[in-house]
A and B are shown apart, each in its own frame.
Chain A
């Protein structure tokens, strides 16, 4: 049995729990449709004369296209149209061009060179899915097979084949300067020199499929007002709309996208491949066109969570404090960027994990290889490195002989600490999570660790930005001429220094444009941090062989403070039983009663309330729209 408890006793003076609707277990507005199978998904919209699109895909990791012969396919039964690269009005894009990040580098349909197994070189539109598949099999493509590279570190070598000609060094260009993203805070070499132990590790995760039950797909149809409607499974409606408008060189106002009920996304439905292809099909044929991935495409052509390889090097003091941590990371982007470049920025801001370490450095590479492009998935940019960090923390704990939970609490970040991306930590709660998880599992931790709080012991010297060692290793293209070490700081000819305390201006949310939009602070339920973090200069970072940071020792929490988890005795730990499921959940309010079910008696066979109508012909509505399959 599983159980859930809500620890309302923790941080309770930072919250007003007496809100009307927030915090109530309200039933979903759409759940009845979901559990009875009536919610319309994109594929439940029926169109008269619907055509089906399928892609001809590369069988090679890497090959030049000499020629494409579609003659036989065009004469096959049911084939309406063959779509080639030349039919795509603006056939070069990168997803993040919508936020001006990266260069256009991926074609919707390839015509010169394929860079992964499954890359589309043509699409067939036919009366039926079967006919489209048969015609795809009849397209003859003459390939000149090229050398390929599948390992991200091999892709960095000077003799590796060029995967993506827009990025001829097989790495994404960061800031028009480096072939990787740097993070530098303090001096890791100094930290390693001061350390009693050096702990190193390498971690690797393989690509993972988002595995939605509903595969990616879209249906596009011409509307009578010179627009195109597109029903889609997208996770990002305007992302897909904007990408389609760009690739098809079409005013976005001519596109009408409808989505919103999706059979699972998990990140794989941001890539906006099916929408431009189905709309292009509708433009070329003047008829409704569906492009839906089958399961094989979803798993092997649809972009997965990409593989990552991480190396971590820690300098650790005898008492378990981590003095320096260096990362070298390789994101295997596959053949095109999609969203990997951005995940690396997100990841760099996340390092070194939820810990306060005085010296941190990282080099993270977005590497192109001859495999299916990678993209977003739940935990994007973080899941792989968190695996590495947390496995590594256990190695550190073993090295210094500490309880792994106590090691985390000792190094945990706290309110007021400076993070390596040079912004202060606030609203932290790692220590409390560690304490509660230990308590629930009956894994005992020492009294010092039990006393700690995220509210205390942070700031002071821990809020200061140290003098930082920088380097200019890994300029764009440098690595292709001669080998350059990938780890931070290594092999750098020119070292530089950034003065202690150097910090730019933090970005804050845009203010509401009108005061009428500003909610009364008394109605937000937010009460603010219960205390300003205690700041004791310098002492906090000096060696201290107790678990307690100096600041906490200097300013013990007043008895009234609800911060640290009050631990039961250790015998109670062992016997603590989880409460029954949802025992502490607020009672269901009357407003959340399930709506009456407007159903026919179960004894009668299902029959639609009214017969399906066909051939709807209202102004502005697609003349092909003929109702929904389920109501």
Chain B
């Protein structure tokens, strides 16, 4: 029995948003009586951090601290329409809608402050700490809270905004496939180091080194969580998971997590990530969705590394010990392809 080391590479790009457009999302922003801001959506937070990212986008756009912004979402009576959280559309589509809504609310905020300070709204700026001041004259200032109170209880203004973002549907040419898909692309490349046991056929992934280009990391911790979790899912897809182990035969179908295999905590692979940020023009602050794409390069990189280790091309997923062993036997044993 020998354990063979292998190294594999793969790189990918990934389309952001519903491919053919036609997928609007809306947002409403309004001030509470004391100058905190509510963002009303009907988008779903799957755990990916939808609420957190839209909150940061709203705070940045309004020019107020993130602690003064709350996101209320997913009640069809209060939240305006959103197509949903899928197709890497959340950050892009909903984020853009929130920017528009928060921009309109900011305009109302600055106009109300201008009336209090007796200046032009165009001469005002926010400091991001809850204050509004005259550009170049930081002592002429009013808090966002005082502005909101004045606007709603003295001036009779609402500090609110509406936003929608839609890429209209694109046709597809039946003969050439010409179309206008999505809007921007995220990118990734990664190197997998693994070991293959030629007696058991078992593959153990040892290390991943990767580069992911995400436009802009709107929240670096959420990006980190997505990339670590996504690579875990990629390893799981490559080596373990299927509801039909002998596809297209439907036998041996797992019905619970005893038979449906996934890596456990002890099998989480060390993963060194570099995040690149090339902002996309039409994305909110340049940010693309990192969540969906990050599992994709892991699958082929593992298959390529298995070939490098033992000379077995496993073009059928998942790469189970049974498949590796059968191919090893057919090849007359392991044929390592050389150190990379």
Contacts and interface: CB of A to CB of B under 8 A. Distances in A.
Given A427-B281, A526-B281, A432 B211 contact: yes
Contact of B44 (A204, A235, A441, A527): A235
6 contacts: A23-B220, A386-B12, A422-B179, A514-B162, A519-B61, A578-B209
Contact of A507 (B44, B180, B188, B277): B180
B285 A19 contact: yes
Interface in A145-197: 150-152, 174-175, 177-178, 181-185
A501 to B, nearest CB: 12
B317 A345 contact: no
B218 A205 contact: no
Interface stretch (A43-51, A73-81, A293-301, A456-464): A293-301
B211 A440 contact: yes
A509 to B, nearest CB: 5
Contacts of A389: 300
A237 B257 contact: no
B172 A379 contact: no
B270 A15 contact: no
A539 interface: no
Interface in B287-340: 287, 291-293, 295-297, 299-301, 303-304, 307, 313, 315-318, 340
Contacts of B49: 28
A207 B247 contact: yes
Given A354-B187, A509-B183, A525-B286, 16 more contacts: A5-B272, A7-B275, A20-B128, A181-B177, A184-B176, A207-B243, A235-B46, A346-B20, A382-B296, A388-B300, A408-B9, A429-B278, A443-B9, A517-B161, A582-B221, A585-B220
Given A28-B52, A394-B307, A433-B11, A510 B277 contact: no
Given A235-B44, A429-B187, A19 B304 contact: no
Given A4-B227, A238-B83, A470-B176, A262 B209 contact: no
A101 to B, nearest CB: 8
Given A354-B13, A591-B65, A178 B174 contact: yes
A389 B167 CA distance: 29
A277 B340 CA distance: 55
B205 interface: no
B101 interface: yes
Q: How large is the interface on B (under 10, 10 to 19, 20 to 34, 35 or more residues)?
A: 35 or more
A255 interface: yes
B275 A6 contact: yes
Interface string B254-285: 11110010100000001111111111111001
Contacts of A207: 242-244, 247
B172 A181 contact: yes
B299 to A, nearest CB: 5
B8 interface: yes
Interface string A217-235: 0000000000000000011
Contacts of B282: 509
Contacts of A429: 187, 213, 276, 278
Interface in B46-95: 46-47, 49, 51-52, 55-57, 59-61, 63, 65-67, 70-71, 73-77, 79, 81-87
B76 A517 contact: no
B315 A202 contact: yes
Nearest to A362: B177
Contacts of B204: none
Nearest to A238: B81
B37 interface: no
Interface string A490-516: 000000101000111011111011101
A104 interface: no
B307 A205 contact: no
Interface string A348-387: 1110011000000010000001011000101111110011
Contacts, number: 504
A555 interface: no
Nearest to A620: B77
Interface in A409-467: 413, 420-423, 426-430, 432-438, 440-441, 443
B271 to A, nearest CB: 4
A20 B60 contact: yes
A143 interface: no
Contacts of B21: 507
Interface in B166-205: 166-185, 187-191, 193
Contacts of A204: 247, 315-317
Given A209-B241, A386-B297, A380 B87 contact: yes
The residue among A25, A34, A526, A528 with the most chain B CB atoms within 10 A of its own CB is A526
B15 A205 contact: no
A300 B253 contact: yes
Interface string B99-113: 111011001000000
Contact of B191 (A426, A443, A504): A443
B144 interface: no
Nearest to B9: A404
Contacts of A259: 44, 74
A512 B100 CA distance: 8
Contact of B224 (A61, A150, A496, A582): A582
A560 interface: no
Contacts of A498: 175-176
Interface in A251-283: 255-267, 269-270
B167 A30 contact: no
A7 B276 CA distance: 5
A484 interface: no
Contacts of A502: 176
A349 B104 contact: no
The residue among A1, A150, A236 with the most chain B CB atoms within 10 A of its own CB is A236
Nearest to B245: A206
B133 interface: no
The residue among B11, B56, B224 with the most chain A CB atoms within 10 A of its own CB is B11
Nearest to A308: B317
Contacts of A353: 12-13
A369 B248 contact: yes
Given A203-B316, A238-B42, A350-B15, A504 B173 contact: yes
Nearest to B55: A29
A23 B76 contact: no
B30 interface: no
B276 A432 contact: yes
A616 interface: no
B315 A299 contact: no
Interface in B141-183: 161-183
Nearest to B337: A398
A209 B137 CA distance: 60
Contact of A390 (B66, B164, B304): B304
B213 A30 contact: no
A29 B71 contact: yes
B276 A405 contact: no
Contacts of B291: 378
B295 A379 contact: yes
Contacts of B276: 7, 10-11, 429, 432-433, 436
Contact of B66 (A208, A236, A591): A591
Contacts of A525: 216, 279, 285-286
B210 interface: yes
A206 B245 CA distance: 7
B12 A516 contact: no
Given A4-B275, A22-B218, A428 B187 contact: yes
A432 B128 CA distance: 34
Contacts of B45: 30, 260-262
Nearest to B13: A354
B260 A383 contact: no
A144 interface: no
The residue among A10, A205, A433 with the most chain B CB atoms within 10 A of its own CB is A433
A434 B297 CA distance: 12
Nearest to B307: A394
Nearest to A455: B278
The residue among A369, A514, A516 with the most chain B CB atoms within 10 A of its own CB is A516
